[in-house]
């Protein structure tokens, strides 16, 4: 027999309705009382034995068996029979501590029963001490990315802003004071070395392998629905995919949140980065989710070689089932959540309440004014304490009189605007694939500052001078707004950040090469040997990931405008330095270290491609392989 959550008032077994835990399904108790005592006891014992066998073989399984050994063929069939609220959580408290009026815990609870074995999910849970049964707070589910950890910093920083947060260790790794579970500790469990002094209890997937980076089994691949000894189904099935198993666990995590006494179950949100971004989209299909914010994922997993995988686990399938408000954090050069797929994702999603924020040049990282979008999105939809401006409306005109395309922008003026910048590239592809990763990462975006058409005009314009007209043109606008007061949080990789502004992006215009070529647009930018004069808005075409440092990177060398004229070309820098130190010039994975004399004297530095070495000491073979330039102290 098994305990059942009270929400599940009626279950069905072989088409017969029964109350949870009742044996009257199999034989009416009223009829039993009419029999003599010996026969009654014998029948009861048989009923009890049958019930126990049934509980072990059928009732305890979280997911129903395949019908006629046929795999689920669509979204509805994949999730059929799963009720994330039905089973008991059997929660465990593994560790607890206090930090700045925040209660933090390491917890573990039941995911379900699969192939006769229980699976459990570990997590970090934190909430403000001011929260209680009479002062409930919104709940956030935070989903880490591949190779990352469930981390207490997300829980702690969110608690200080009035949220309870559950950071789930879907891969088993946990980062917390006095409770750190790294890959080595996870492997101790896999190797049955639980008596080791550094072993700590964590996620236990039971008979299945829903781990990642690494997986418990060497052949386990998340993008696969193939069968193996560690999968649920013995044939190709979406229920074999780690994506499905982790999304199922995340939906159980929502149940954990809603059952906490200090959490308002009507105000739950979910967010995650990278693999956690895809899992955010897969979890946001749960009607209990009232707001979602995926970053760097959830829009591009649609190119799997398996037709069955695409029809069930592909991003577009889940997007069509997401009805809650959603904010996409999609850096323009991200390899995992490609901006070229964002336009389709916006059209596919069921929700009409959506925004995007797209930092130019970045790949799988972001800056505070974009990362903070998660915080203000949750504030709006779970607290009602903020209102994110509407998506700026844009119109692209290719047939300008001077041959220079123009983007017209009409932003939302409900908040003070700090700046409005337009970014455009001619390095997009019609249908980017995962194999195009290097082209995506090194795509160069030109920047154009927008200006109001005239005083008090609600419309802004930005000119887009083109380096060529025989390639696709992609363009979008970023509107930067000031925050009423700074917001601090834990970023994609749990690093602390503070933002005093935020960015709302327009949707991306994608003009095919044929259409651009047939328009009146003309080439307006000529090739030049001057890569950068460091004047004006030069930093808008360079980028960095660490606030406070002076290192800057650009993808300008990936543009035909700044290609080396020949193989014997030299890279020349003119540098002024107040003190003697070193400058490191990086071209991709190759570096050259330069001594600077100081004394505020202008120093001319000349470097050939052979001066740049990689970690193995090998020089750059050809300038043609260079796409990225970075100036750095290290």
Mean pLDDT over 558-576 rounds to 93
DSSP type of residue 132: B
Q: Flag the least confident range among 27-36, 122-131, 412-421.
A: 27-36
Dist CA 344 CA 341 (whole Å): 6
pLDDT score for 421: 97
Place of tokens 């229980």: 118
Mean pLDDT over 599-608 rounds to 91
Strand partners, 120: 110, 204
Mean pLDDT of the chain: 90
Asked if residue 358 lies in contact with residue 332, where contact means CB atoms within 8 angstroms, the answer is: yes
In the predicted structure, residue 162 carries a pLDDT above the cut 50: yes
Strand partners, 132: 135
Q: Which band of pLDDT confidence, cut at 50, 70 and 90, is reported for residue 17? A: very low
Please report, rounded to a whole number, the percentage of residues in the chain having pLDDT higher than 90. 85
Asked if residue 204 lies in contact with residue 231, where contact means CB atoms within 8 angstroms, the answer is: no
pLDDT score for 22: 31
Which run of H or of E encompasses 223?
Answer: none
Q: The pTM is what?
A: 0.89
Mean pLDDT over 254-258 rounds to 98
In the predicted structure, residue 204 carries a pLDDT above the cut 80: yes
**pLDDT (tens digit per residue) in 424-465:** 999 999 888 889 999 999 999 999 999 988 777 899 999 999
In the predicted structure, residue 18 carries a pLDDT above the cut 50: no
Asked if residue 291 lies in contact with residue 324, where contact means CB atoms within 8 angstroms, the answer is: yes
Q: Which band of pLDDT confidence, cut at 50, 70 and 90, is reported for residue 626? A: very high
Among 305, 300, 120, 296, which Cα is nearest to 221's? 305
* Residue 193 to residues 188, 209, 229, Cα–Cα distance (Å): 5, 18, 22
pLDDT score for 529: 93
For 67-221, where are the E strands, in sequence order? Answer: 92-99, 102-114, 117-128, 137-143, 150-151, 164-168, 174-175
pLDDT score for 455: 75
3-state helix, strand, coil in the chain (%, to 5): 25, 30, 50
In the predicted structure, residue 218 carries a pLDDT above the cut 70: yes
Q: Helix (H, G, I), strand (E, B), or coil: what is residue 316?
A: helix
Among 468, 627, 466, 612, which Cα is nearest to 557's? 627
In the predicted structure, residue 546 carries a pLDDT above the cut 90: no
Mean pLDDT over 399-406 rounds to 95
Asked if residue 269 lies in contact with residue 382, where contact means CB atoms within 8 angstroms, the answer is: yes
Angle between helices 275-283 and 242-258 (to 10 degrees): 60
User: Where is pLDDT greater, at 27 or 302?
Assistant: 302
Instruction: Write the CB contacts of 310 (distance below 8 Å, at least 6 apart in sequence).
Output: 302, 303, 304, 317
Asked if residue 123 lies in contact with residue 255, where contact means CB atoms within 8 angstroms, the answer is: no
In the predicted structure, residue 8 carries a pLDDT above the cut 90: no
* Residue 167 to residues 87, 104, 630, Cα–Cα distance (Å): 21, 11, 35
Q: Flag the least confident range among 49-53, 114-118, 366-370, 535-539.
A: 49-53
* Residue 145 to residues 130, 191, 278, 491, 626, Cα–Cα distance (Å): 30, 24, 9, 12, 29
Angle at 490 between CA 167 and CA 90, to 5 degrees: 10
């Amino acid at each position: 027999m098994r305990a059942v959550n009270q929400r599940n008032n009626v279950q069905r077994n072989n088409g017969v309705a029964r109350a949870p835990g009742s044996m009257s399904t199999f034989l009416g108790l009223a009829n039993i009382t009419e029999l003599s005592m010996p026969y009654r006891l014998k029948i009861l014992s048989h009923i009890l034995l049958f019930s126990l066998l049934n509980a072990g073989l059928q009732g305890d399984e979280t997911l129903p068996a395949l019908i006629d050994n046929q795999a689920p063929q669509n979204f509805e069939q994949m999730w059929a029979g799963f009720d994330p609220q039905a089973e008991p959580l059997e929660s465990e408290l593994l560790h607890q501590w206090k930090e700045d009026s925040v209660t933090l815990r390491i917890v573990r609870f039941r995911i379900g029963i699969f192939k006769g074995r229980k699976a459990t999910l570990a997590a970090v849970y934190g909430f403000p001490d001011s929260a209680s049964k009479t002062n409930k707070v919104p709940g956030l589910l935070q989903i880490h990315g591949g190779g990352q950890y469930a981390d207490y910093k997300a829980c702690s920083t969110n608690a200080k802003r009035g949220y309870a947060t559950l950071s789930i260790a879907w891969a088993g790794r946990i980062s917390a004071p006095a409770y750190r579970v790294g890959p080595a500790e996870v492997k101790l469990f896999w190797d049955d070395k639980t008596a080791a002094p550094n072993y700590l209890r964590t996620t236990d997937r039971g008979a299945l392998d829903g781990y990642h980076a690494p997986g418990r089994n060497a052949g386990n691949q998340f993008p696969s629905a193939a069968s193996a000894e560690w999968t649920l189904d013995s044939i190709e099935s979406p229920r074999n995919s780690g994506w499905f198993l982790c999304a199922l666990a995340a939906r159980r995590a929502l149940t954990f949140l809603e059952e906490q006494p200090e959490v308002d179950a009507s105000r739950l949100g979910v967010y995650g980065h990278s693999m956690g971004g895809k899992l955010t989209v897969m979890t946001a299909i749960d009607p209990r989710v009232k707001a979602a914010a995926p970053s760097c994922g959830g829009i591009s997993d649609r190119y799997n070689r398996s037709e069955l995988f695409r029809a069930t686990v592909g991003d577009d399938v889940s997007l069509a089932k997401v009805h809650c408000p959603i904010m996409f954090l999609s850096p323009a050069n991200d390899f995992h959540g490609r901006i070229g797929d964002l336009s389709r994702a916006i059209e596919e999603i069921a929700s009409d309440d959506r925004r995007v924020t797209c930092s130019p040049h970045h790949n799988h990282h972001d800056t505070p004014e974009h990362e903070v979008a998660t915080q203000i999105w949750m504030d709006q939809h779970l607290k009602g304490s903020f209102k994110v401006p509407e998506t700026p409306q844009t119109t692209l005109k290719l047939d300008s009189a001077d041959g220079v395309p123009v983007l017209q922008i009409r932003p939302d003026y409900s908040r003070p605007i700090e700046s409005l910048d337009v970014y455009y590239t001619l390095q997009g592809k019609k249908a980017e694939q995962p194999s195009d990763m290097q082209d995506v990462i090194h795509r160069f975006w030109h920047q154009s500052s927008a200006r109001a058409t005239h005083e008090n005009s609600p419309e802004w314009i930005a000119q887009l001078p083109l380096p060529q007209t025989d390639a696709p043109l992609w363009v979008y606008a970023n509107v930067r707004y000031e925050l009423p007061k700074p917001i601090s949080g834990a970023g994609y990789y749990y690093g602390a950040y503070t933002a005093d502004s935020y960015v709302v992006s327009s949707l991306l215009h994608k003009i095919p090469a044929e259409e651009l070529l047939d328009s009146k647009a003309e080439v307006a930018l000529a090739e030049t040997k001057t890569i950068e004069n460091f004047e004006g808005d030069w930093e808008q075409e360079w980028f960095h990931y660490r606030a406070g440092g002076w290192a800057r990177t650009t993808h300008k060398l990936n543009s035909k405008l700044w290609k080396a004229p020949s193989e014997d070309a030299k890279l020349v820098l003119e540098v002024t330095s107040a003190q003697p130190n070193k400058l490191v010039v990086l071209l991709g994975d190759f570096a050259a270290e330069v001594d600077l004399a100081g004394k505020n004297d202008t120093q001319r530095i000349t470097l050939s491609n052979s001066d740049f070495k990689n970690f193995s000491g090998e020089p750059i073979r050809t300038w043609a392989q260079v796409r990225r330039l970075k100036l750095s102290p290290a």
